[in-house]
Structure 1
Amino acid sequence: MNGWISVRVAERREEAEGIVGLVLAPLPGASLPPYEPGAHIDLKMPNGMIRQYSLCGQVGDTMVYELGILLETAGRGGSRQVHEEVKVGDVLEISAPRNLFALVPGEPALLFAGGIGITPIIAMADHLARSGTPYALHYCARTHARIAFRERIAHSHAPHHVHYHFDDVPQTRLDMARVLAEAEPQAHLYACGPAGFMDFVIGAARAAGWPEARLHVEHFSAPEVQDPGDAFEIEIAGTGQIVPVASGQSAATALAEAGIEVPLSCEQGICGTCLTTVLAGVPDHRDMYLSAAEQAANDCFTPCCSRARTPRLVIEI
């Protein structure tokens, strides 16, 4: 990726059990690009690994970015490196912010955060509170110890706007039917957290008749796909080069082995970094980046995870 921004770790703090907060500052004489609530950045680890993290600081502050990073014991190692190795004073590289989870301006909001999903949600809640837009925040966690940004939430939000739900306190469990019934008319729903949590929230909203246009989600990881997919071929437009993709092999890996590098970041079909134009053939879309309409157009695909429904895809690099 071009255009990496060098930043210094200005502060590191324990936000909650298993969650580290990083405050990133620009190098002397520089500033950071502005961003809107819901945005995220790519963070390049010292070992070159790239991961995506939501920006959870005060929107409009171009002198610091704030991240909250959960230690994923079953992850691929990015969060572990942050927790074990990154320290104050380190210089890291980040991308400019991207926003795939933007607020609809001026509309009431119903916010649901599951665990570390609070990171984009708190930036949204802060913005809504400052703008006077009606909102309610429902923060679900396993235990009280897993709640991040507790002091900030208490300082910035009136108690009637914030509702905590804990797995180990039955009387606090989230009553989706009641919450949805009491929502502001025409409210938009925003959910971020583990896949099971979002399936529960969005499933309840759909069952209650909420239209898709008012449902917004941010995925931290893609669901596991059991089907490895059939083998297929990729043809490179303009050169005619044919690249075979084996069953169970990603198109991005096959292209790399053929000497064709595709920019990668999440490698799960979430971030859109590797999005590639399709000129012919029908992709088997397995990403969570493209909308249903964009997938139906079949004019692009994410080679990190998507495959082909036809024997060959012709792509433009």
Structure 2
Amino acid sequence: MKNHTTLVEFIIVGFSNDHHVNIILLVVLSAVFLLTVVGNITVVTLSFVDHRLQSPMYFFLRNFSLLEICFSFVIMPRFLYSLLTERKSISVPGCFLQLLLFFLLGSCIFFHVGMMSFDRYMAICRPLHYGTIMNGRVCFQLVLSCWVMSFFIMFPPAFMAVLVPFCGPNVINHFYCDTAALLQLSCMDTGHIEIMILVSTSVLILGNFTVTVISYGCIITTIMCIPSTTGRKKAFSTCSAHLLVVVILYSSSIFRYVRPSQRGARDFDKFVAFFFSVVAQMLNPYIYALRNEQVKQALKDACGRVLSKCSRLS
């Protein structure tokens, strides 16, 4: 194929060409990556081993954390390696694989956020029907549908983007392989692909955003009816933390992908992408799970058991 034979590799610019800036970025982003992976692994482990965390909410959180671990490994290890070695090249197949995985896993994250907001709506606003509706079979079907819909919505336009011919410059103005930067390097008209990407991302992001906003709107209305002031404050504290992550995720994604022109990477795009691909992923396990009282108690109990076994062995 022409696009596979013309170019052998792409050069990913990243954030800076300054060596000292890259060292600082390496240290900071390594810590961010470590926090993301450790936080999500903790959530997954606790939800498996603690019998108190077997409700639908924790089933969704476990799958969400597994998804975020995979998503983080799509972008961060390669970017950290480029900062460490200052090798900014990536093979053409490697770039295409990163792009496809980014869109597949990223779209699945949006579906999971929408699904978890609906689950919280059912638990808070329809508690009498929650156990009947959100049974194990329904939860499994919801998670499976997230993956299926992600594939059918985002895989076709992403796959079309990697099939365009690249026969000129190979410098990608981003810190990972993104569609805008790739389409900018194409030597053909990509208007039909841009329309496909715009329609797919609009359906994905705005659709899940609508579900999330309606769900949290109903939740806030229900919270306002709580007679106890302490109960309202506690509920609002949890809800506001969730909304912080939702605002970061959706605002940055809408700014980046829900726009007419999908071709041409702007310098500001990679800074916006940093929020939904790195910052939001780091915050999610700590906001959604590790602030939860049941999860914190399960973590304390698990640490206590580990320390007790270590003391007996010593």
TM-score (normalised: structure 1)? 0.27
Structure possessing the higher relative contact order (Cα contacts under 8 Å, 6 or more residues apart)? 2
Name the structure where helix makes up a greater proportion of residues. 2
More strand by percentage? 1
- TM-score between the two structures when normalised by the length of structure 2: 0.27
